[in-house]
C-alpha cells in the first residue's frame, strides 16, 4: 500500500496585508477576518516561477527526512500556472533536484481539488507500476494572474507550494477511498483569460451545495460516519466557505482545521499545508477527511487513515 | 482489467502542403518525403481550440460505438496547448459532451510521450477507483505556436485529436507493462516561450540514444523478445527518427507502422491515430509495442496485448 509519509512546504516570507486595502475595497476588518479569513497573503518574488516554489518545498522536505534522489521513481506536479505550457513543470523540477533518468514525470492540471485528485492518481500509478517512492508537488502562484483591483479575487489568494512524499509499505497515511465529481458546464465561473475571473457567488453556491453531498456519499461508501473522522481538512477557500460546509455537514467544530489567516488561499497547496503542520500528531488508526473544490468546476473528497505499515 | 476497446480520431480536412515551401526552406522533395516524412500538415481553423478538436474526435468515437454518456466515470485530456490554463480542458469537454456530474476530470500535461503515460495513468486510476468506463483524449494544436519561418519546426507538426475508450472486463487491448523516463536537464531543447523552439539535433540524438534502451528494458522486464511483438507504433516524430529507432532495435520493417505523410507529427495523438486505423485487425493474443518520446525530455514505452475479456 502507498502511504503519505512526509510533507514539505514553502510559503514566501513576503506578505501583503489585506488591512491596507480596507478603504480601497470599501470593506472592514471583521469582513476580512470572519468572512474571507485572510489577513495577509503570502507573495512570491515576481520572477519566481512554479518550479522555483516546488524546489523550495523540496528543500523543506529534505530537511525533515533525508531524500535519496536516486530512489524517487515518479514526480508529479499539480499546477495551473506552469513555468511554461511546454514543457511540463515536473520536467524542470526533475532536472533541478537531480532526479534519476528512470523517474517518471508528468503534470496534472487541476485547481483546488488538485491535491485530492493528485493523491489518487499518484498512488494508483505507483501501485500499478510497482514504484516504491514518489513525490507529489502542488504549486499555483496566483499572484501572477490576479487583477489587484478585482475585489472578488484580490484579497483571497496567496502563493505557496508543497511536496508530499509517498512510499510503499511504510507507516503513514493511507487512502481508504475517494469521491470525485465535475460540473464542466460551470467552467466559466472561474477562468483565466488575461487575468483571473471568479464569479464568487456562483462558486460559493456550487461548493455549498455539492461538497456536503460528496462527503456524505464517500462516508456511506466506506461505511463510516462523521464521528469516525478525527480531523477534517477542507480546502481553505475562505473562512465563510469552510464554516458553511462544516455547518451543513454538522461537523464537530473542534475537528475542523482552519489556518489561512497568515497566507491566504493557496489553491492545490491548501490541504497539504494543513497536513504538514499536523502530520506528526496523527495517531495510528485515526482517520482524516479531506475535500477540495473549485476550478472546473471540480471536487474531490477522500479519507486517509494512519497505518503502521 | 482495463482494456482499450475503441479509438475515435479527428484530423482537420484543411491541409498545408510542404511541397510549396521547398524554395523558402532551400530543401527538396526527397528530404520532405524521406527524412521528414510529412508531405502535408493537417491544419485546424484558427479559432478552434483543443476542446473543439476533442469534441470532434468524440463524435467520431460515437459513430463507431454508441457511447452512453451517463456510464463514463472519468475523462482525462492530455495536452500542452489547453484552451486556457484555468480551467483544465477536460472540464470544458465534460460540459460540452454532457458527461455526468459523477465523472472525474483532469488534464495531464505531457507532449509526445503523453499517450503512453496517459494510458498508464487512466488505467491505474480506473482500476484503483473501481471505474468501468473512461475516456482518454489527446489534443495538441501546435499550429497555434509554430513560427512559420522556423525550418526546425514549420514543416513537421500537424493538428489532430483522438479519444480512446477504456473499459473494464471487455475484449480489447490490455497493458502488459510500461517503462518511463525523464531527462529534465534537457528541457530547454523543446520549449514554448513565445513560439515553439526545438533544437532538432539535440532532440534527435536524445531519442536515438534513449528509446531503443527503453524498449529493450521493457521487453526484458516482460520476458519478451522483439519477435514476440506483432506490430510497433513508435511516435511519428519524423520518418528519419522512426527509421533510426527501428534500425537500432533491429525491428522487422514490416511490423513498424509509418503513417504521417498526409497530416504530420500530431504530438500525443500520433500513436492513437495509428492504433485507430488498425485496431479492428489485431487478433487475440497479438502484442503491440508502443513508444512515445519528446518534450521534457520524456519517454514512455509499453506493450499492449489483445485479450478476449
Which pLDDT tens digit goes with each residue over B241-278? 999 999 999 999 999 999 999 999 999 999 999 999 99
- Average pLDDT for residues A173-183, to the nearest whole number? 98
pLDDT value of residue B186? 95
pLDDT value of residue B129? 97
In this complex, which of B85, B96, B105 lies closest to A80 when CB atoms are compared?
B85
In this complex, which of B95, B99, B125 lies closest to A120 when CB atoms are compared?
B125
Q: Residue B13 — very low, low, confident or very high, per pLDDT cuts 50/70/90?
A: very high
Strands B231-234 and B196-198: unpaired
pLDDT value of residue A230? 97
- Average pLDDT for residues A248-259, to the nearest whole number? 96
Which CATH code, of 3.40.47.10, 1.10.3720.10, 2.40.30.10, 3.40.920.10, is assigned to B2-169? 3.40.47.10
Question: A 104-123 residues with CB below 8 A of B?
Answer: 104-111, 114, 117, 120-121, 123
How many Cβ pairs closer than 8 A exist between chain A and B?
A: 202
Q: Residue A260 — very low, low, confident or very high, per pLDDT cuts 50/70/90?
A: very high
pLDDT by residue (tens digit) across B116-137?
Answer: 999 999 999 999 999 999 999 9
In this complex, which of A99, A105, A129 lies closest to B120 when CB atoms are compared?
A129
pLDDT value of residue B71? 97
Alpha carbons B239 and B38: distance in angstroms, whole number: 8
Count of other CB atoms within 10 angstroms of residue B259: 14
CB contact under 8 A, B191 and A86: yes
Alpha carbons B243 and B221: distance in angstroms, whole number: 24
pLDDT value of residue A247? 97
- Confirm if A169 and A309 have CB atoms less than 8 A apart: yes
pLDDT value of residue A167? 98
- Confirm if A5 and A170 have CB atoms less than 8 A apart: yes
CB contact under 8 A, A183 and B101: yes
When the pLDDT of each residue in chain B is averaged and rounded to a whole number, the result is 96
Q: Which residues of B touch A117 (CB under 8 A)?
A: 104, 106
Q: Which fold has domain B173-307?
A: Peroxisomal Thiolase; Chain A, domain 1 (3.40.47)
Alpha carbons B298 and B291: distance in angstroms, whole number: 11
Provide the CB-side half-sphere exposure for A45 (13 A, CA): 6
- Average pLDDT for residues A292-306, to the nearest whole number? 97
Whether the per-residue pLDDT at A309 is higher than 90: the answer is: no
pLDDT value of residue A303? 98
pLDDT by residue (tens digit) across A21-38?
Answer: 999 999 999 999 999 999
Q: Residue B93 — very low, low, confident or very high, per pLDDT cuts 50/70/90?
A: very high
Q: What residue segments make up the domains of chain B, in order of their start?
A: 2-169, 173-307
- Average pLDDT for residues A80-100, to the nearest whole number? 97
- Asked if domains A2-169 and A173-307 share a fold, the reply is yes
Cα–Cα distances in angstroms (integers) from residue A113 to residues A55, A124, A299, B35, B91, in the given order: 22, 17, 5, 45, 13
pLDDT by residue (tens digit) across B15-67?
Answer: 999 999 999 999 999 999 999 999 999 999 999 999 999 999 999 999 999 99
Question: B 131-190 residues with CB below 8 A of A?
Answer: 145, 178, 180-187, 190
Whether the per-residue pLDDT at A140 is higher than 90: the answer is: yes
Give the predicted TM-score (pTM) of the model. Answer: 0.97
Strand partners, A104: A74
- CB-based burial label for B15 (10 Å; 0-12, 13-18, 19+): middle
pLDDT value of residue A113? 97
ipTM of the predicted assembly exceeds 0.90: yes
Whether the per-residue pLDDT at A234 is higher than 80: the answer is: yes
Whether the per-residue pLDDT at B309 is higher than 80: the answer is: no
For residue B271, the Cα-to-chain-centroid distance in whole angstroms is: 4
pLDDT by residue (tens digit) across A30-62?
Answer: 999 999 999 999 999 999 999 999 999 999 999
Question: B 195-224 residues with CB below 8 A of A?
Answer: 196
Amino acid at each position: 500500500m502507498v502511504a503519505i509519509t512526509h510533507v514539505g512546504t514553502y510559503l514566501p516570507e513576503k506578505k501583503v496585508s489585506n488591512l491596507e486595502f480596507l478603504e480601497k475595497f470599501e470593506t472592514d476588518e471583521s469582513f476580512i477576518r470572519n468572512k474571507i479569513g485572510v489577513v495577509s497573503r503570502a507573495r512570491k518574488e515576481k520572477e519566481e516561477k512554479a518550479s522555483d516554489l516546488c524546489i523550495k518545498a523540496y528543500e523543506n522536505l529534505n530537511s525533515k527526512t533525508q531524500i535519496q534522489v536516486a530512489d524517487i521513481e515518479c514526480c508529479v506536479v499539480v499546477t495551473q500556472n506552469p513555468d511554461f505550457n511546454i514543457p511540463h513543470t515536473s520536467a524542470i523540477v526533475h532536472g533541478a533536484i537531480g532526479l534519476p533518468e528512470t523517474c517518471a514525470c508528468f503534470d496534472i492540471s487541476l485547481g483546488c481539488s488538485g491535491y485530492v485528485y493528485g493523491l489518487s492518481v499518484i498512488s494508483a500509478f505507483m501501485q500499478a507500476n510497482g514504484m516504491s517512492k514518489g513525490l507529489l508537488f502542488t504549486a499555483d502562484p496566483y499572484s501572477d494572474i490576479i487583477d489587484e483591483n478585482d475585489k472578488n479575487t484580490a484579497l483571497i489568494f496567496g502563493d505557496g507550494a508543497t511536496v508530499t512524499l509517498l512510499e510503499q509499505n511504510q507507516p503513514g497515511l493511507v487512502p481508504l477511498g475517494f469521491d470525485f465529481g465535475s460540473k464542466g458546464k460551470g467552467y466559466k465561473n472561474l477562468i483565466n483569460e488575461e487575468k483571473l475571473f471568479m464569479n464568487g457567488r456562483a462558486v460559493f453556491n456550487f461548493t455549498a451545495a455539492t461538497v456536503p453531498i460528496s462527503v456524505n456519499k464517500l462516508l456511506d461508501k466506506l461505511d463510516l460516519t462523521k464521528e469516525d473522522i478525527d480531523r477534517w481538512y477542507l480546502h481553505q477557500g475562505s473562512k465563510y466557505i469552510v464554516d458553511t460546509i462544516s455547518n451543513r455537514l454538522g461537523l464537530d467544530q473542534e475537528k475542523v482545521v482552519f489556518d489561512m489567516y497568515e497566507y491566504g488561499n493557496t489553491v492545490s497547496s491548501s490541504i497539504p499545508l494543513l497536513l504538514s503542520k499536523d502530520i506528526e500528531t496523527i495517531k495510528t488508526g485515526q482517520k482524516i477527511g479531506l475535500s477540495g473544490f473549485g476550478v472546473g468546476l471540480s471536487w474531490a473528497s477522500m479519507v486517509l487513515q494512519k497505518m503502521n505499515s
